[in-house]
Amino acid sequence: MADPWPVDPWAQATLSQEQVEQYLDRIALPRTLAADEPPSLDLLRRVMVAHLEQVAKDTSPLHVPEEQWDGPSDTPIKLSSAFTNMPESTSAFDRVVVQRKGAFCFAINALFAALLRSLGFRVSELAGRTFKDLGNDPTERPEGWKWGTLTHELLVADWPGGDARWVVDGAWGPWGCPVPLKLEDGAQTLGLNLYEGFQLRHEPIPLGPTQTRPIDSMPGWTLYRFIPPPDTPLSLPLTASPSTGFWSPQFHFHLLSVPLADFRLYHHFSASHEMASFTAFFLVTRLLPGTGGARRSLMYADKEGSPRRAKVYTTGGTEGRGSLEGRDVEWVDMETGALKQFLQREFGFGFP
């Protein structure tokens, strides 16, 4: 294992030239990209979208020991049975790039940051506090402003000669912002279709009137997704109202680079602590190329009395027209043989 207390804790991980070429192959971009183009917003957007279309957010390492995939095909998959199996930081390179599988944010975004640096970008790795009632209006729900812990890694990128910094996220998953968003209070953008919009606000962490405010705090940044009624095309600027839609938060963060040793603590709490949040569900999800941001997801959580079958469904994209409902639904048995074949066929996973 690497030294948990590195002498240079904020060292910026990069990739070798060979690794960059392998990574670009993995996300279906030309190997010559780094040599052909200097860093720019257009390049950042293209690389980000390609990454989201090819690299899945994936919790399967937490539930299936690698050797189990080659065992009896009718082996039941038990959630949390591979408690410490999720790769960490850039050690995920072989899994994500060579084997063409996925991971969760503390591996994927760390690895994506290393790729971006190798393409000439400057990248800060940050930790975000997740909102626990995604897709809903906190001003209208009993849960209100329900915030979780620091269980998400995100990135802020810029480049020499650029005039702005950009929030970049290669691993949020369903309903995440699929394009760079300017790090500016009130900045808005549409996603990959006319039915999804996002906004960044510089503010203290939003809390309800009955919640205790921190004694010592500072303004941070909150990423919101705009939720319009279905079949409502959007145009900028976006303004919330009963007829147009509402803003639903996704995460709140501070502009504070996090060193590797601290990310190891967040990784442990998310993946191998007894209260780990990601061990309670099986999720594999990625954008579908050429669909305007449609997402294919496989999801399973234990529910007493329900069959042990994962639900596979598509959301968003141009065809979704702003609906939050899943379509093209199918089911996969939670057994190693059936799930392995499905992950190979639908998500391109490789198995050594």
Residue 256 C-beta-side C-alpha neighbours within 13 Å: 13
| pLDDT band at residue 255 using 50, 70 and 90 as cut-offs | very high
Q: How much is the average pLDDT of 48-67?
A: 94
Share of the chain above pLDDT 70, in %: 99
Q: What angle do CA 9, 11, 13 make, to 5 degrees?
A: 130
Q: How much is the average pLDDT of 51-80?
A: 93
Q: How much is the average pLDDT of 170-189?
A: 96
Look at the chain and report how many structural domains it folds into: 1
pLDDT at 4: 66
Are residues 29 and 48 in contact, defined by beta-carbon separation less than 8 angstroms?
A: no
Helices (H) and strands (E) in the chain, counts: 8, 13
More confident residue, 66 or 2: 66
Are residues 197 and 236 in contact, defined by beta-carbon separation less than 8 angstroms?
A: yes
pLDDT in tens, 190-239: 999 999 999 999 999 999 988 999 999 999 999 999 999 989 999 999 99
The verdict on residue 1 lying in a domain is no
Residue with tokens 């998400």: 152
pLDDT at 278: 85
pLDDT in tens, 138-157: 999 887 899 999 999 999 99
Q: How much is the average pLDDT of 8-36?
A: 92
| Segment among 1-5, 78-82, 109-113, 162-166 with least mean pLDDT | 1-5
Give Dmax over CA atoms of the chain in angstroms.
59
The verdict on residue 9 lying in a domain is no
Residue with tokens 């394009």: 179
Are residues 326 and 345 in contact, defined by beta-carbon separation less than 8 angstroms?
A: no
Helical segments of 67-149, H only: 93, 105-118
Prior bond of 237 cis (ω within 30°): yes
The verdict on residue 267 lying in a domain is yes
The verdict on residue 7 lying in a domain is no
The verdict on residue 77 lying in a domain is yes
Whole-prediction pTM value? 0.94
**Residue 195: CATH number of its domain:** 3.30.2140.20
The verdict on residue 233 lying in a domain is yes
Residue from 16, 28, 34 nearest 159 by CA: 34
The verdict on residue 192 lying in a domain is yes
State which residues form the domain around 121.
17-206+218-347
Is residue 1 over pLDDT 60? no
Q: Quote the strand ranges of the chain, DSSP E.
A: 57-58, 122-131, 147-158, 166-168, 181-182, 188-190, 197-203, 220-227, 246-253, 282-287, 295-300, 309-315, 327-333
The verdict on residue 6 lying in a domain is no
Tokens representing residue 267 in the block: 């990784």
pLDDT in tens, 282-323: 999 999 999 999 999 999 999 988 899 999 999 999 999 999
